Amino acid sequence: MPQTTPGTRRPPSAEDPRNRKKKTSRRHIKPFSPSQRRPAAILAVLVTFAMVFMFAFGESAVVKPAAPADAQTKPAATESAKKDDQEEEPVPEPEPEPEEAYEVESSIIVQGDRAMEIFYVAEDALRNYGSEINTFAAKVPDSRVFVLLAPTAMEYYAPKDYQTDKHSFVKAMQYAYEPMTAKNITTVNVRNALAKHKDDYIFFRTDHHWTARGAYYAYRVFCRDAHLTPTELDQHETGRIEGFVGSLYRYTNAQALKDHPDSVQYFYPLTETDGKAFDNAAMEGERRVAVISSNVAPENAYLCFIEGDNPIERFNTGTKNGKSIVLIKESYGDAFAPFLMDNYETVWVIDPRKVEMDLAAFVSQNSIDDILFLNYGFALSNPTYKKALTKMLDPSANVE
């Protein structure tokens, strides 16, 4: 269409009906004006240049439009990358670190500088233990009864070959605790609490006992279940006896254990204590005992806790709350007992192997509030301990 200058009247449009002439077979095409020729010429030059460029450099020179931002396409691999994919072998998963070799001597595993008893789940003995305590609980309806089955080191450090159901402490607890249905019984599960601290020094390496630190973590769980307030470990004055080589070395004579002895750490109660030991239920043969004895020879270092296994011990404490407890135990209870001093005014400790007595009558005569059975898994299938405990729970039982 011809250009017009401002103020110049545009000629009537040919499309105006008033000026439409009769159509003919030939259409008149008007030439470009000078102002229109320049853009057309530039476009022609650009098209010619593009054709020459494509001819010289081929299809790879063509710039393809970018994919939309949300297009989920992968960039094409380069030739070198394709070659690498074809030639490179798949990288295998790293092999797990090999387990440290171990030996078995007299039913004891020795692995490096650690030894542990091979624990087996004795279902019948465990269920019988639970049933006997359940029957006993009915005889002391006014007392709370707690049962704490303590794991062995094997639960946390056993080689893979022994991480099976027949060695499982979880199974052992299940069998022991299931028969305990009396309303005044509380079963205490310390397994997971100790698992959280397995990298701490919670079991000796040369001896079958747990350490005082391991016993402390169990004590905290007991306090939770008994609605008591536990002390904090860093509140306690502490000491240590070096050079302890314990029972597992004596059974195996493993040089690695002798070369890497244990140390026995102890924690004093926060309160004052006055301890007495007795030979029998009639309270005969009275003598003084200490909660913690720091002057014990290294070979007997575990005896630093309540002076070891005595028939009956009574500790009167500075915890003036009128509460009393009796702890029924074998030697696993020795490292546990000192922590009870800060929660009870009177703490009784009884080892069934050392004394014959009617436990229900003893509880009644001494108005004992709480009864705690603390045993480690092996004790329940040990004939000596099992018979002694059965006789204590039921003096009329025939245990021969």
Domain count, the chain: 1
Bridge partners of residue 304, in order along the sequence: none
Q: How confident is the model at residue 32 (pLDDT cuts 50, 70, 90)?
A: very low
Residue 333 lies in a domain: yes
Residue 204 lies in a domain: yes
Percent with pLDDT over 90 in the chain: 73
Give the residue from 370, 379, 368 showing the smallest Cα distance to 334.
Answer: 379
Residue 207 lies in a domain: yes
Q: Is the Cα torsion angle 72, 76, 80, 86 positive or negative in sign?
A: positive
Q: What is the pLDDT of residues 16-29, one digit of tens each?
A: 444 444 444 444 44
What's the CA gap between 255 and 112, in Å, rounded?
A: 10
Residue 96 lies in a domain: no
Residue 65 lies in a domain: no
Domain that holds residue 139: 121-393
pLDDT of residue 29: 44
Contact between 222 and 148 under an 8 Å Cβ cutoff? The reply is yes
| pLDDT of residue 304 exceeding 70 | yes
Residue 41 lies in a domain: no
Q: What is the pLDDT of residues 69-112, one digit of tens each?
A: 444 443 444 443 344 344 445 545 555 567 889 999 889 999 99
Bridge partners of residue 188, in order along the sequence: 148
pLDDT of residue 98: 76
Q: How confident is the model at residue 393 (pLDDT cuts 50, 70, 90)?
A: very high
Residue 47 lies in a domain: no
Residue 233 lies in a domain: yes
Tokens 């009769």 identify what position? 22
Give the residue from 348, 372, 341 showing the smallest Cα distance to 230.
Answer: 341
